[in-house]
Structure 1
Amino acid sequence: MEWTILGAGALGCVMTGLLRQRGESVALMLSERHRGHFHPSLELITLTGAHQLIQSRPRFPEHARTVECLLVFTKAYQVVDALKELRHLPASTPIILLHNGLGVAEKVQALFPNNPLLAGVSSHGAIKERDWLVRHTGKGETWLGPLNDAAKTWSHLVKPLEKALGHAEWSDDIALHQRRKLAINAVINPLTACNNITNGQLLEPRFADVLEQLSEEVYQVMSRLDGDKAETQDAFRRRLQQVIELTSSNHSSMHQDLAHGRPTENEYISGYILANAGNQPVPVCSQLYQEIERKSGTAKPAQRMQH
């Protein structure tokens, strides 16, 4: 089977490299700006610092009918528009969403009601140093699971992913993994983006109070959504501390997007917390949401958040 990767950003390119290293067939679905240009080899800097040239097949939207398995690594706000281009995608082709944040899957399901729809959650680290040069900065866990009934028979995709990534597991409750990743992102991303710092700097004493309050807000909202599967507050704090320490020298994706003048996934991370807060007060989360919107030049009225 050939894997087709939509979204040639840092993680999408690193995943391309890791799959190719294990002999998997991989195609990159490219955007219009690459049409007519020579498709260069992808250069992957491995965890050991070695440089490897990675070959993949270039694909464009008109090739959608040949796609056997689609891995979507675009930003959350790009997913729907990117998939609209693939209107000839066979109804039997699984679509695997691997973006940050939540709130997109429902729109994809409406676009492709018959396709197996899956979600992936990965904690691999990746940095795009320049076009077609990416660095793998850290190994992590990868979880895959179904978002609709048609996807429940696709657990066999885990085996080749496990060989390529070092860890991959199937979860029938992938939404739980998505929410737990979002809870971490909803603390780290806006704080590092607004303060222009690395993840590790969040552990400095000056951020202790705001880190504590934001963690409390996020935990209260997400634990209510998790119901009887909610982790304890202490477990959440330990997990948050561990992620900050493991990624201490990294800049969060939201920090990078803001620093480079790109749109952010604010609406799908902090915006998701605000939309699901109900009567729970979330003043810090709300303030950070508005600040990110202001910094990115997309400020919205306050009521926009409660969708």
Structure 2
Amino acid sequence: MNILILGPGAVGSLWATKFQLAGHHVSLWGRTSESELSLQLDDAPLTTYSNQSISSLQEADLILITVKAWQVESAIEPLLPHINADTIVMLMHNGMGTAEWLESKLSDNPIVIATTTHGAYKPTKQHVLHTGHGYTQVGGFNAKGAKCEFLQDVMNHALPSVNWNPNIHSALWTKLAINCAINPLTAIHQCKNGDLAAEQYSSLLEAITHELVEVMNKEAIVTDFDTLHRTIMQVVNATAANYSSMRQDVFHKRRTEIDFITGYLLQAAKKHQINTPENAKLYQCLKQIEQSWTEQ
């Protein structure tokens, strides 16, 4: 396949190198205007890819968007006139809310959503490390996207394991709930994920989870407090040594994805007239932190 990676950060570079090793024709679309970019996966040889090639964009069978949620609009807007109506467009980022906008711009295209637990890190511009093996879930966002189940085999061959999930909406909400519980707290307290297992966070995490369950049930996502709380704590313990992406963004004074994580939850809560005070406090705290950087 002709595959274009929009946003060759850590996750985008991981998939780019894996797709290339699996025999696909891979091109990149990064922020730099250089015509070529080189990437090295772990100890593999350096490989060169075309960058910002209009012909590669026009010929793409699949565009994988791996920029952060708040970057999606500005990243893909200039590309829209060149995207073929048959090109599959896949979103892979934390948070929710961008697929609706994308569909309004590419109403004829198959739109697919993916969520992955693979870990990746770029110590340098060219070097990407596969820091943690995980799994990826993929599913269709619109009717045409729902017909793209063959992508499971394509992606599984490149970076296993990959499962096609006909109910990807439910998987995304579960991922969103985990992020709502872990990311803001670790960002505010500048701590590792595992630190949230301490007693001082216990009642707060429970309150956050109760609010999440109420909203998810109204969104027709079947869950209960015990199930969701157990899932959240499993992730806290399984990723105990990790820093969340939001913690890293705050540490480096970068814009976070709070609007597409907790912000998305609050929008859904408002729609259903559900009171979510604990999540609202976390959201306001993160917005104040972000605002403080621009006021300096």
The corresponding residue for 2:241 is 249
Deviations 1:91-115 (CA, angstroms, capped at 9, x unpaired):
1100001111111111101111111
Deviations 1:123-161 (CA, angstroms, capped at 9, x unpaired):
111222232222212121211111111222211111021
Rounded Cα–Cα distance in structure 1 between residues aligned with 2:48 and 2:268: 41
Which deviates the most, 206-215 or 265-274? Answer: 206-215
Residue aligned with 1:297, SS: helix
Structure-2-length-normalised TM-score? 0.92
Task: Give the letter aligned to residue 98 of structure 1.
Answer: M
Residue aligned with 1:231, SS: coil
Residue 54 of structure 1 deviates from its aligned partner by: 4.4
Residue 293 of structure 1 deviates from its aligned partner by: 0.7
Alignment of 1:182-221 (within 5 A): 182-221=176-215
- Could you tell me whether the CA contact under 8 Å between 2:2 and 2:59 is conserved in 1? no
Structure-1-length-normalised TM-score? 0.89
Residue 189 of structure 1 deviates from its aligned partner by: 0.7
The corresponding residue for 1:261 is 253
- Could you tell me whether the CA contact under 8 Å between 2:139 and 2:146 is conserved in 1? yes
The corresponding residue for 1:302 is none
Matched, 1:234 2:226: yes
Rounded Cα–Cα distance in structure 2 between residues aligned with 1:34 and 1:131: 14
Task: Give the letter aligned to residue 39 of structure 2.
Answer: L
Task: Give the letter aligned to residue 35 of structure 1.
Answer: E
Matched, 1:159 2:156: no
The corresponding residue for 1:2 is 2
Rounded Cα–Cα distance in structure 2 between residues aligned with 1:185 and 1:53: 35
Q: 2:72 aligns with which of 68, 75, 79?
A: 79
The 1:54–1:175 alpha-carbon spacing in structure 2 relative to 1, beyond 3 Å, is: farther
The corresponding residue for 2:16 is 16
The 1:142–1:272 alpha-carbon spacing in structure 2 relative to 1, beyond 3 Å, is: same
Residue 70 of structure 1 deviates from its aligned partner by: 0.4
Deviations 1:155-206 (CA, angstroms, capped at 9, x unpaired):
1111021122221111222111111111111111101001101111111122
Unpaired runs of 5+ residues, structure 1, are 46-50, 300-307
Residue aligned with 2:137, SS: strand
Rounded Cα–Cα distance in structure 1 between residues aligned with 2:37 and 2:98: 31
The corresponding residue for 1:138 is 132
Deviations 1:252-275 (CA, angstroms, capped at 9, x unpaired):
111111111211111000001111
The corresponding residue for 1:68 is 61
Q: Aligned residue pairs: how many? A: 289
Residue aligned with 2:122, SS: strand
Q: 2:112 aligns with which of 115, 118, 125?
A: 118
Residue aligned with 1:155, SS: coil
Matched, 1:42 2:39: yes
Residue 56 of structure 1 deviates from its aligned partner by: 4.5
Task: Give the letter aligned to residue 220 of structure 1.
Answer: E
Task: Give the letter aligned to residue 77 of structure 2.
Answer: K
The 1:294–1:57 alpha-carbon spacing in structure 2 relative to 1, beyond 3 Å, is: same
Unpaired runs of 5+ residues, structure 2, are none
Rounded Cα–Cα distance in structure 2 between residues aligned with 1:58 and 1:202: 42
Residue aligned with 1:181, SS: helix
Task: Give the letter aligned to residue 20 of structure 1.
Answer: Q
- Could you tell me whether the CA contact under 8 Å between 1:17 and 1:54 is conserved in 2? no
Q: 2:101 aligns with which of 92, 107, 117?
A: 107
The corresponding residue for 1:305 is none
Deviations 1:32-84 (CA, angstroms, capped at 9, x unpaired):
x3426xx4531223xxxxx2234242231633212221000010011111111
Task: Give the letter aligned to residue 217 of structure 2.
Answer: S
Deviations 1:243-300 (CA, angstroms, capped at 9, x unpaired):
111211111111111111211111000001111113322111111101111111179x
Q: 2:45 aligns with which of 53, 69, 78?
A: 53
Rounded Cα–Cα distance in structure 2 between residues aligned with 1:24 and 1:61: 16
Rounded Cα–Cα distance in structure 2 between residues aligned with 1:119 and 1:56: 27
Matched, 1:29 2:22: no
The corresponding residue for 1:304 is none
- Could you tell me whether the CA contact under 8 Å between 1:27 and 1:56 is conserved in 2? no
- Could you tell me whether the CA contact under 8 Å between 1:219 and 1:233 is conserved in 2? yes
- Could you tell me whether the CA contact under 8 Å between 2:5 and 2:27 is conserved in 1? yes
